[in-house]
Amino acid sequence: MTLVRTAHERGITTLTLDSPHNRNALSARLVGELREGMEKAGDDPGVRAVVLAHTGNTFCAGADLTEPTPTGPLELAGLMRSIVALGKPVVADVRGHVRAGGLGLVGACDIAVAGESSSFAFTESLLGLAPAVISIPLLPRLDARAAGRYFLTGERFGAREAARIGLVTDVGDDGLGPVLAGLRRASPQGLAESKRLVTAEVLRAFDRETDVLARRSARLFASAEAREGMAAFLEKRDPAWVL
């Protein structure tokens, strides 16, 4: 069964993360299917914009820690860059929880609408990791003080706070409709050229920083501290360093 379902309606392609068994975690298979779906939408002249949605109460839980080797940082960076570089707007429709690498997907999207009950957390520091490659699309959008706090503490925060710090565009359970109406009224050329303006610096950051941050992420994943953190998470216990 596919982990990413595709639907089309009036020029909008919706790619729905549909891997409820692991809370839409970024398994190698899901990352591959999502990137393929983005590429197909980008090549289809009948597609005006893409919506990234999800099933269940979790938009994306981050890396799939049950895989022998969690999705490589280069693969995740490639997926995020493909979203940013797509010649069509990509809209995140978040109706649930987002953790760790899932926030990278939200940050890569041009517009993000969150439901009132959504929650967010950069949980990497709690596992002995860091939000390395996902920082590329996120740091240009986030309030610097808020990024410092939430990157470091791993605290959970809600949709209103996510909007205040620049992580999401709007909050409301009916917020997607006006966005799609505006995108359907815009011309394909107008959308593509407008997107190029707002993504140029982020794309330069991907080209400049991906290799360095991917190596840092791989080093952290291979560390003894991260192995303890991930084991503790899977075993539902505190890691050894908790005071």
Report the pLDDT value the prediction gives residue 72, as an integer from 0 to 100.
Answer: 87
Q: Which amino acid is at 156?
A: R
What's residue 70's pLDDT? 65
The model carries a pTM of: 0.95
What are 146-166's pLDDT values in tens digits?
999 999 999 999 999 999 999
Span 194-210, average pLDDT: 97
Residue 38 pLDDT: 98
232, 102, 13, 161 alpha-carbon torsion, rounded to 10°? 130
CA distance 186 to 180: 10
Domain 4-173, classified CATH 3.30.1360.230, yes or no: no
Q: What value does the mean pLDDT take over residues 196-208?
A: 97
Looking at residue 65, its pLDDT comes to 86
Query: Domain limits of the chain?
Result: 4-173
Of the pLDDT bands very low, low, confident and very high (cuts 50, 70, 90), residue 33 is: very high
pLDDT digits (tens, 9 = 90+) for 104-152: 999 999 999 999 999 999 999 999 999 999 999 999 999 999 999 999 9
pLDDT score recorded for residue 233: 93
Strand ranges in the chain using DSSP code E only, listed in sequence order: 4-9, 12-17, 49-54, 58-60, 90-94, 97-99, 111-114, 119-121, 157-158, 170-171
Determine the pLDDT at residue 69: 63
pLDDT score at 66: 84
The pLDDT of 197-209, averaged and rounded, is: 97
